[in-house]
Amino acid sequence: MKKDKLHIHWYPGHIAKAEKKLKEQLSLVDAVIEVLDARLPLSSSYDNITRLLGEKPRLILLNKADLTDKNELNKWIKLIEGKSGFPVLTTDAKNSKDLSLIVKKAVELSEPRIQAIMKKGLLRRPARVMVVGMPNVGKSSIINKLTRSSKTKIGAKAGVTRQQQWVRLNPQLELLDTPGIIPMKQEDQARAKRLAFVNAVSENAYSSEIVANELLELLNQKYSAQVREFYKLPDDIELSLENIALARNWLVSGGSPDLERTSVYILRDFREGKIGKFILDEIEE
C-alpha cells in the first residue's frame, strides 16, 4: 500500500488476528490488567472493552504518570473509576521502585474465580492475569518491574512485544504479557494522531511532519507557554514547525528550515517528556 501522507493507516487484518489471540486466552485468566497511557486516558482506552474481554474483573493502570500533570490526572482517576466500576492506579514503570499495589489488587480481583475453582474441589492455583493495552503504553515494562527482571522485551516504539508470554511473579500470581492492539477503526483520525503522538502506532503508518504539526497545534491550545519556553520561541512569533526550526537553527543546506528533522525532534522531545508534563485528552469529550 502506498504511504498516504495525510492520513494514518494500519492493517485491520493484523488487529483482527491479535484480537482473536487475546480472546483465546480469556477462559484461562481470572482478571485483566488494562494499561492506559496516562497522557491519553481516553484515547488509549478501548471503546468497547467488553467486546474484547467479556466481563472479566479489571484493574486499570494509568501508566507513564511521570509524564503527566498529577492534579489533572487525579480528576481522570475519579472519572474512570466512576465509569468503569473498577479500581484505577497510576503507575510509573520507568522510575518506581515499588509497584506491589498492582500485585495486591490483581490477586484480590482474581480471588472470586479461584474460590469458585476450589469449591469444585480443585487445589488453589496462582491467579492468572492478562495484561492488555495499546502498543507502547508500558505493559512489558510493568511486568519487568514487578518481576525485577528483564523477562519481557521492551522498547520505545510500537510492536516490540510480538507474542503472548506467561511470566510467573510469585506463587500467588502469573501474568500474561500480550502484544499491544490498536483500535480496528481508524476513521477517527484525531484519535489516530493522538495515538501516533505517544508512539502507539507504528511509525510506518504516518508522516512525521503531519503528526508533529498536529501535535504542535494541540499543545498550542493548552500548553502553549511551555512549548514556547522549551523551544525559546517569543510570544509574538507564531508557534509552528517552521519557526521552531528557525529558532533552533535546524536548517537544511541553503538555510531553509529542516522540517523533517524538526518534526522528528519535536515528537521525540514530547515523547520523552522534555517539553513538559501533559495530558492531551479532554475530560468533557
Question: Which residues are at the interface with ligand GDP (CB under 6 A)?
Answer: 63-64, 66-67, 92-94, 133, 135-141, 154-156, 160-161, 180
Q: Which of 44, 140, 199, 262: binder of Mg ion (CB under 5 A)?
A: 140
CA distance between the termini of the chain: 33
Contacted by 209, from Mg ion, ligand GDP, none: CB < 5 to 8 Å by type = none
What is residue 79's DSSP assignment? H
Which run of H or E residues covers position 193? helix 189-197
Binding residues for Mg ion, rule CB under 5 A, total 3
Min dist. Cβ of residue 73 to ligand GDP (A): 12
Please name the residue that has the C-alpha cell 479489571.
58
Alpha carbon distance 66, 83 (integer Å): 24
Q: State which residue has the least CB distance to Mg ion.
A: 161
Q: State which residue has the least CB distance to ligand GDP.
A: 138
Partners of 60 in the beta sheet? 34, 88
Residue of 21, 28, 25, 27 lying closest to 128 (CA atoms): 28
Alpha carbon distance 189, 8 (integer Å): 7
Contacted by 176, from ligand GDP, Mg ion, none: CB < 5 to 8 Å by type = none
Alpha carbon distance 19, 261 (integer Å): 35
Contacted by 228, from Mg ion, ligand GDP, none: CB < 5 to 8 Å by type = none
Contacted by 87, from Mg ion, ligand GDP, none: CB < 5 to 8 Å by type = none
Contacted by 259, from ligand GDP, Mg ion, none: CB < 5 to 8 Å by type = none
Nearer of residues 146 and 216 to ligand GDP, judged by Cβ: 146
Note the residues at the interface with Mg ion (CB under 5 A). 139-140, 161
